[in-house]
Structure 1
Amino acid sequence: MSLVIVGAGPNLGLAIARRFGREGFSVGLVSRNQAKLDDLAGQLRSDGITAAAAAADIRDSDALAAAIRSLAGELGEVEVLEYSPLPAREFMKPILETTAADVLGPLEFSVLGAVAAAQAVVGPMLEAGRGTILYTTGGAAIKPYPLRAGVGISFAGEVAYARMLNEELAPRGIHVAHTAIAGRIAAGGDHEPADIAEVLWSHHVDRGAFQTAIGF
Structure 2
Amino acid sequence: MTTFALVGAGPGLGLAAARRFGKAGHSVALLARDADRLDDLVAALDSDGIQARGYTADVLDPDTLTQALIAAAGDLGPVEILQYSPVPRADFMKPVLETTAADLDAPLAFSVKAPVTCVNAVLPGMRELGRGTLLFVNGGSAVRSKPSVAGTSIAFAGESAYAEMLHTALAPEDIHAAQLIVPGAIHPDSATSSPEVLAERLYALHTDRDGFRHYAEPMPD
Q: TM-score range by the shorter chain?
A: over 0.9
Q: Tell me the equivalent position of 1:105.
A: 106
Contact kept, 8 Å, 1:114 with 1:158, in 2: the verdict is yes
State how far apart, in whole Å, the 1-side matches of 2:119 and 2:44 are: 27
> What's the counterpart of residue 61 of structure 1?
62
Q: Distance in 1 between matches of 2:27 and 2:187?
A: 23
Structure 2 residue runs without a partner (length 5+)? none
Deviating 4+ runs (over 3 angstroms):
none
The number of residue pairs the alignment matches comes to 216
Percent identical pairs in the alignment equals: 48
Q: CA deviation at 1:2?
A: 0.9
Structure 2 equivalent of residue 193 of structure 1: 195
The one-character-per-residue Cα deviations of 1:118-144 (angstroms, maximum 9, x if unpaired) are 011001111221000101111110111
Q: What is the rounded CA distance, in whole Å, between the counterparts of 1:205 and 1:140 in structure 2?
A: 26
Contact 2:42 2:54 in 1 (8 A): yes
1:145 alignment counterpart: 146
How far does residue 88 in structure 1 lie from its aligned partner after superposition?
0.2
Q: Deviations over 1:39-66 (max 9, x none)?
A: 0011000010000000111111111111
Q: Which residue of 1 aligns with 2:123?
A: 122
Partners of 2:193 and 2:216 within 8 A in 1: no
Specify the alignment match of 2:211 in structure 1: 209
1:150-208 Cα distance to aligned partner (Å, 9 max, x none): 00000000011111111111001100001111111131357210000111001100000
Counterparts of 2:172 and 2:117, CA distance in 1:
22
8 A contact 1:3–1:81 mirrored in 2: yes
The letter of the residue matching 2:36 is: A
Q: Name the CA distance, whole Å, in 2 between partners of 1:29 and 1:186.
A: 22
Residue equivalent to 1:160: 161
TM-score (norm 1): 0.98
Structure 2: which amino acid aligns with 1:36?
R
Gaps of 5+ in 1: none
Partners of 2:95 and 2:150 within 8 A in 1: yes
Q: Is 1:3–1:27's contact at 8 Å kept on the other side of the alignment?
A: yes
1:12, 1:186 within 8 Å by CA — same for their partners in 2?
no
